[in-house]
Amino acid sequence: MALPKIDLPLFDITIPSTEQKTKFRPFTVKEEKILLIAQESKDIDQIITSIKQIINNTVQDVDVDKLAMFDLEYLLLNIRSKSVNNIIEFTIPDPEDNNRRLDLQFDIENVQLKHDEKHNKNIKINDEAYLIMRYPSLNEIKHILESNMKEETLFNILLECIETIVNKDEVYNVESFTREEVIEFVDQLSNNVINDMKQFFETVPTMRIEIPYKNKDGEDKTFVIEGMDSFFI
């Protein structure tokens, strides 16, 4: 007789960047091991592969390669909350005194996306035309990190993240054009437009957790966790 299959509960969730409603399940012991091994390896390729595997396994009806980084952060935290515990406890060296350890904790359910008021996906070219940007994927973030923020790599990702060009009543899907045509178009843009495109990347929403604590002198301090670190703490 075969051992029984365990039915895992499903939970509703909304993808932040698209507002798509979907469902996810908690991760299993096997999947938790995958994440722990990736975390201990410190290898960016293994971490990315593990993240993709967990999201694909646990979240319904999503293309992980098209999710924004903050979507992944949000999904991972919610999966962690339903899989283990919504309270994450951890210990760090005191930023002001390495001989002192701090025991901190935060509640995943209180974590929210940080939105910058300057962030805008629509980049104005002139009174009749504008660009619509998309968020860089996990693989694109990986390329940026591996290049040590090289200007050429950043520019290439910037090009690839132009999703749509709107001019008067005409809408152009950039995927329908060659890379050479897109470069030729971008070369016509003013520095102000390029700066606004860069600002779009610099102000992308992120998970931010602020944890209050007291230093050795009893003064109020705040420990900040941002992005994927919130999951791998």
Interval 101-156: pLDDT, tens: 999 998 888 888 888 999 999 999 999 999 999 998 888 887 777 766 677 777 88
Task: Indicate the domain borders of the chain.
Answer: 11-88, 91-103+110-114+207-232, 122-202
Amino acid in position 46: Q
pLDDT at 178: 93
Contact 130, 170 (CB under 8 A): no
pLDDT at 108: 85
Q: What pLDDT, in 10s, does the model give residues 171-184?
A: 999 999 999 999 99
pLDDT at 49: 86
Q: What pLDDT, in 10s, does the model give residues 208-226?
A: 888 999 988 889 999 988 7
Higher pLDDT: 45 or 75? It is 75
Residues in CB range of 98: below 8 A, 6 or more apart: none
Count CA within 13 A, CB hemisphere, residue 216: 9
The three-state secondary structure class of 86 is coil
CA 191 – CA 123 distance, rounded (Å): 12
Model confidence band, residue 233 (pLDDT cutoffs 50, 70, 90): low
Q: What are phi and psi of 205, to 5 degrees?
A: -55, 150
pLDDT at 191: 92
Q: What are phi and psi of 231, to 5 degrees?
A: -90, -35
SS3 content of the chain, % helix, strand, coil (to 5): 40, 30, 30
Mean pLDDT of the chain: 87
pLDDT at 158: 86
pLDDT at 112: 80
Contact 225, 212 (CB under 8 A): no
Q: Is the pLDDT of residue 29 over 80?
A: yes
Query: What is the SS3 string spanning 198-220?
Result: HHHHHCCCEEEEEEEEECCCCCE
pLDDT at 230: 55
pLDDT at 148: 66
| Reported pTM | 0.81
